[in-house]
Structure 1
């Protein structure tokens, strides 16, 4: 039986990308509200309750409201907002993050789609905490740069329309300088950390792409070396084709890593960079902030949920 899917917030950046990925598929019935009807609460409620699966591309409060509007209908949810990423009763939608996570998503009633920075950070951290190589009280710092599409329609316009009064002329800027970025709680919880990581996010003048860097001192870890870290990654991500662990000899040959290298894809690459003596490691995740970091992950989770 063909399942019905409704994208609540389909006219935003993430929603538009999801709709593009689903266009033309014959295995689902894609429900849709016209732009002028998106604030019609009666029609929106009907769509939410009629859908087998609803994908929420909304601000946090609106996402919580959507779940409440569909209460009792049996609708399953994928929430791309921050609202439910550490909430009880919601399965975290990062299939490669934990052994058995894929199966949990398949059977879940409610799935929270990860944040873009979170995807890169958790991909680097969780294999190491599970393997016992990274102490859960390690003071983790995360440095990251994203394409400007991660800021939504307003930032896209500010970056692309120089005539706007609020146009952004800078080629690169840091933000969230009070260290309260909304992705920190899920990174901490889903990586198995006891301390809040220090996340320094940046935006570059490129549309899509992302690099997430985590520097580590091996002497402060549990007997970790570059080889044991690489082996932990290789073992953790074995048997799937979404996350690629780049071989150490290939990483050594690199002069630079381009933050746009994964733009237009729904995959992610992980690099283990190191000093010659192995005392310092720089872990790097490369992904598309709108691919594996948002819309691509949502469609991956949808495909898993459609399996039952």
Structure 2
């Protein structure tokens, strides 16, 4: 099968190339850097491919889609452009028992954002099991590596003078302070919440990795569940998943500061869910690699499903 990465020199595109070049079951089409602005060659390669990965900004992704005229070319997009579009399939196989089937037969798959992936994995099962009311006033916080900001932010962190910025690059920095983060629409849609969560992310001085935390007050939940009830619901929901692991409650009770290190899933396609706190107040936390399960790993996982291959091919180290 022939695959092509449009936007192969961006952060996500480079990671996809890195993963695919180790495999001999797909033919990785490419355009040399000197010809990357040749529009005719780009169109030719895109329509020759069985699967095209769009690793582009939103508007560029929309424009690129118009260039694909081959009805047999399937598309996996990593931008925000199509994530809430009903004509596209949301590329989170663990969302529901039927999601893999939808991805397998889809011509157009939109891979979730990194924050959204962690949030949906943490919250969606609780809504589905009737524990979390759909009108619950959900709050969410995220600590993430600077690679999620793309080339400009990476350059700022890796070449900027910390002394000139009075340590601003070494401290966590909150952003999207107007509470308008671009992942919010999909976070609402794919958890089936009635309202968008109050979401405040913070970028930190490490390259990749993230932890998303959601605090819950159990007296406001349906049937006032305890810590064990919430943990049991999540454990049961993901019991057959290879890439989502709910940390045992005994291990969570003895957790230390270092155990929730945002970087401990780096280099994998894993997502780890923690249930912390007590019967009155619970924190559901999800850790993943924003460049793994949060982007390139999810892309490869969806590609494997669409091609009828082992889902973990090229993902399990």
Q: Which residue number corresponds to residue 314 of structure 2?
A: none
- In structure 1, runs of 5+ residues without a counterpart are none
| Residues 52, 75 of structure 2: 8 Å contact kept | yes
Report the count of equivalent residues.
304
Tell me the alpha carbon deviations over residues 167-224 of structure 1, each in whole angstroms, 9 at most, x when there is no partner: 7634210000011100000000001101011110110100111000000011111022
**Structure-2 residue corresponding to 1:153:** 151
What residue in structure 1 maps to residue 315 of structure 2?
A: none
**Deviations 1:84-111, CA, capped at 9 Å, x for gaps:** 0000211100000112111111111110
Write out aligned runs for 1:1-308 (5 A): 3-163=1-161, 169-223=169-223, 224-256=225-257, 257-275=260-278, 278-307=279-308
The 2-side partners of 1:268 and 1:46 are apart by 37
Judged with a 3 Å threshold, the aligned counterparts in structure 2 of structure 1 residues 206 and 58 are, in CA distance, closer, same or farther, namely same
Deviation by residue 1:92-149 (Cα, 9 ceiling, x = unmatched)? 0000011211111111111000000000000011000100000100011110011111
Q: Please, what is the CA RMSD of the aligned residues?
A: 1.6
Contact 2:169 2:205 in 1 (8 A): no
Q: Distance in 2 between matches of 1:24 and 1:264?
A: 15
CA shift for structure 1 position 163: 4.8
What per-residue deviation string (whole Å, max 9, x for no partner) do you get for residues 228-253 of structure 1?
21111111111121000001110001
Contact 1:158 1:164 (C-alpha < 8 Å) held by counterparts: no
In structure 2, what is the Cα distance between the partners aligned to 1:165 and 1:294? 32
Unaligned runs of 5+ in 2: 310-317
> Which secondary structure state, in structure 1, belongs to the residue aligned with residue 297 of structure 2?
helix
Q: Aligned partners of 1:205 and 1:182: how far apart in 2?
A: 22
Asked if 2 retains the 8 angstrom alpha-carbon contact of 1:158 and 1:166, the reply is: no
Separation in 2 of the partners of 1:86 and 1:165? 42
